[in-house]
Amino acid sequence: MPISGGGSKVGIYVDVAYIYNNGGSKMQYDVLREFACRDFAEPVRMNAYVSYDRERAEWDEVYRKGTQNFHSALRDMGYKVIVKEIQWFEDESGNRYGKANADLDLAVDALLQSAKLDRVLLASGDGDFVQVVRALQDKGCRVEVMALDNVSSKLRHEADFFISGYLIPNLIPVNNYKTDQPEWGEVGSRVRGWCYWHSEQGYGFMRYLKSIAPGLWLTDTRHPDSPYATAFFHDSNLPEAVRPTVLPSRSYIFEMELARSERGGGIQAINIELISKI
């Protein structure tokens, strides 16, 4: 039976500086929008909170033009860009440091706008948002959190749903990406997933998203509407930094190449790399 959330109203709130500095310098914001609206939901609010160093922009033309182009690209994709200028200070030793904290703006906007939303996607791993998540839930919103590296465990556990951005197809380009390589999920492509089952006999299975689709709770790949697929792997294909005894685990996110299985028509994971440890 097709799964649809048509009619749901979604708000997307992106802590751009946090995401950029923690694995998301190449994040595709159009893919983030697609993921947030994966069940045919309507994006009512799409806010991107960015920092801007006006002082640097006065002498660094590359920075100034690059920042302006980035902000323009976000607006073209439908995001409202909220700019926080970096304020410079000096400590007691005379060392300069900058601050451009957009946390308060994001929190206030999300709470004020939540009355018209069914679901909120927060793109940040900052533990300061734990109370914001609780407040949004108290207002009746389902809160999903997407982050990459350095994610607060309290924030992950407080969310109704957490997903590492590395697992979302095409959100973060895979390593050694080539323009002629197969699409994500096809044989020969590189995907990211986690080990959900492992045997002491030296093999296991990875689970990964085939595409951006609704029904993320349908992790059993035998279900016809499940957006997931599995791939067999040998322990010999694991990176040296990962001991098989720690598997299975959702804490380890792997990037792998999909190949035809040596034992029939299934899919096998080869050339496995450790991408992130939550």
Answer yes or no: is 176 within a domain.
no
Q: How far apart are the first and last CA of the chain?
A: 34
The letter for the amino acid at 137 is Q
- Per residue in 231-241, pLDDT (tens digit) is 999 999 999 99
CA distances from 64 to 25, 47, 56, 193 (A): 17, 21, 8, 37
Q: Identify the residue whose tokens are 């697609």.
A: 34
Answer yes or no: is 23 within a domain.
yes
CA distance 133 to 69: 31
- In the prediction, which pLDDT does 94 show? 66
Packing angle, helices 103-113 and 130-138, rounded to 10 = 10
Query: Which residues lie below 8 Å from residue 236, measured CB to CB, with a gap of 6+?
Result: 202
Q: Which residue segment(s) compose the domain that 224 sits in?
A: 190-277
Q: Identify the residue whose tokens are 């960015």.
A: 50
**Are residues 34 and 83 part of one domain?**
yes
Query: Which residues lie below 8 Å from residue 242, measured CB to CB, with a gap of 6+?
Result: 252, 274
Answer yes or no: is 87 within a domain.
yes
Q: Where does a domain end: 113, 132, 167?
A: 167
Answer yes or no: is 15 within a domain.
yes
CA distances from 182 to 79, 115, 221 (A): 30, 42, 22
Answer yes or no: is 27 within a domain.
yes
**Are residues 159 and 201 part of one domain?**
no
Classified as helix, coil or strand, 41 is coil
**Are residues 159 and 44 part of one domain?**
yes
Q: Tokens for 274, please give them.
A: 């450790």
- Per residue in 85-132, pLDDT (tens digit) is 877 666 676 676 556 678 999 999 999 999 999 999 999 999 999 999
**CATH number for position 111:** 3.40.50.1010
**Are residues 124 and 43 part of one domain?**
yes
**CATH number for position 271:** 2.40.50.140
Number of compact structural domains in the chain: 2
**Are residues 247 and 143 part of one domain?**
no
**Are residues 161 and 217 part of one domain?**
no
Nearest-10 Cα torsion for 192, 197, 202, 203: -50
Answer yes or no: is 184 within a domain.
no
Answer yes or no: is 2 within a domain.
no
Average pLDDT for residues 254-269, to the nearest whole number? 89
- In the prediction, which pLDDT does 1 show? 42
Answer yes or no: is 71 within a domain.
yes
Per the model's pLDDT, the better-predicted residue between 262 and 234 turns out to be: 234
- In the prediction, which pLDDT does 100 show? 66
**Are residues 251 and 114 part of one domain?**
no
